[in-house]
Amino acid sequence: MATDYFAVLGVSRDASDSDLKRAYRKLARDLHPDVNPDPGAKERFQEVTRAYEALTDPEKRRIVDLGGDPFDAAGAGAGAGGFGGAGFGGLGDIMDAFFGGAATRGPRSRTRAGRDALIPVELDLDETVFGTTKDITVDTAVLCTVCTGAGTAPGTHPTTCTTCSGRGEVQSVQRGFLGQVVSSRVCPTCAGTGQVIPEPCPECAGDGRVRSRRTLQVKVPAGVEDGMRIRLTGQGEVGPGGGPAGDLYVEIHERPHDVFTRDGEDLHCRVTLPMTSAALGTTLNLTTLDGDEDLDIKPGTQSGSVLTLRAHGAPRLRGTGRGNLLVHVEVATPTRLDAEQEKLLRELAALRGEDQPDSHREAQGGLFSRVRDAFNGR
């Protein structure tokens, strides 16, 4: 059964060339092996590429519309419906297929689209929050400046392949009980292009492109997060034969910060307060990404409290405003006291009635009574 290439690309059967191109670029961008590490993405990418080639080549599209598969070993001559199926255009096609003729695919272009590229870039937290401009070094295939993609030495031109006479494929004949069966395959000499390069370009060896290291400037918008990708259109690999370049994706890797952690647009940090400061209240000078800020600690602040500094987080990529800075408070209990400090704490405990054993039992009893009441439904 022939492959439904329209379903592979997710388009309708009356899709235009622009619809096909749009669908292919979207799928190829998501499935390209340089972008998608999924083991099955490579096979799916190849399937999508075959579908695009089948539907954009006029001859292959004609075979698909007739119900055949242009990549089938028998070409257009073996349709999905046998003798009377849609794979044959009529009696003439049947006669050609079995008694000396064969449908041809035609030569393929030497020029093909280039691949996308992926470059990781490490940034500090303040760079992802406020944005920055980075120079990155990219090692990719670029257009050969000697032959400008033609692949030929200066002053020379490609010639017609003598093996296939420019058709891009060769035919083989097999005899059967119904006569001779003719099938076609890609020409091994010209790889299906119908042309050969007798004198390749000395710079690119006929490929039309060379490897080059170049520096690009990347503008990182404020508010990007770890794992996000910035797309640079047309900055990827130049294709064989000087084909259009793919895209370059810059993947953001955010370095861990010594003080702050990030959760979307919000930033988090922890501060430790002495027991006395938490009890009496104080003003804490806190260093943020925006500079020093005074944070009011109210009397009686408990360990585990979260205080909020509004609009001190990261900007929102979609929308306006910024996230918040959430300050998590931890109250430190002294572990070693000198005699004077212990005396003062005991006096404080006595003033508050916390130095009697009954006060602990009352607190414990109150806890148990609340648990008991909860079980009894009170």
57 phi, psi to nearest 5 deg? -85, 125
Domains of the chain: 113-154+202-255 (2.60.260.20), 257-333 (2.60.260.20), 340-378 (no CATH)
d(CA 98, CA 116): 44
Does 364 have pLDDT greater than 60?
A: no
Q: Are 290 and 280 in contact (CB under 8 A)?
A: no
DSSP 103: -
pLDDT band, very low/low/confident/very high, at 146 (cuts 50, 70, 90): very high
The proportion of the chain whose per-residue pLDDT surpasses 90, expressed as a percent, equals 49
At 22, which helix (H) or strand (E)?
Answer: helix 17-31
Q: What is the C-alpha to C-alpha distance for residues 74 and 90, in angstroms, rounded to an integer?
A: 17
Backbone angles phi, psi at 330, to 5 degrees: -120, 130
Amino acid at site 10: G
- The reply, when asked if residue 269 is annotated as ligand binding, is no
Extract the tokens encoding 181: 């069966």
Residue 30's nearest CA partner among 18, 20, 44, 16 is: 44
Of how many residues is the chain composed? 378
Cβ pair 9, 16 in contact under 8 A? no
Give the per-residue pLDDT at 233: 92
What pLDDT shows up at residue 263? 95
Say if residue 187 carries a ligand binding annotation.
yes
More confident site: 79 or 180 = 180
Task: Identify the weakest region by mean pLDDT among 88-97, 131-140, 240-249, 328-337.
Answer: 88-97
Which has the closest alpha carbon to 72: 84, 45, 89, 54? Answer: 54
- What pLDDT shows up at residue 81? 37
Distance CA 297, CA 376 (A): 40
Q: Which two tokens stand for residue 301?
A: 């602040």
Virtual torsion, Cα 80, 81, 86, 88, nearest 10 deg: 90
Q: Partners of 118 in the beta sheet?
A: 249
Please list, residue by residue across 86-95, b when 16 or more beta carbons sit within 10 angstroms of its beta carbon and e when fewer do.
ebbbeeebbe
User: 114-118, 296-300, 351-355: which range is least confident on average?
Assistant: 351-355
Assign 131 a pLDDT band (cuts: 50, 70, 90).
Answer: very high
- Rg of the chain in Å (alpha carbons): 36
pLDDT at 8 (0 to 100): 87
Q: Does 282 score more than 70 pLDDT?
A: yes
**Burial class (CB within 10 angstroms; exposed 0-12, middle 13-18, buried 19+) of 139:** exposed
- Rounded distance between C-alpha atoms, residue 54 and residue 64, angstroms: 7
- What CA–CA distance (Å, rounded) separates 215 from 100? 57
Selection from 21, 137, 130, 5 nearest residue 80 by Cα = 5
Beta bridge partners of 284: 295
272, β-bridge pairs: 330
Tell me whether residue 144 is annotated as binding.
yes
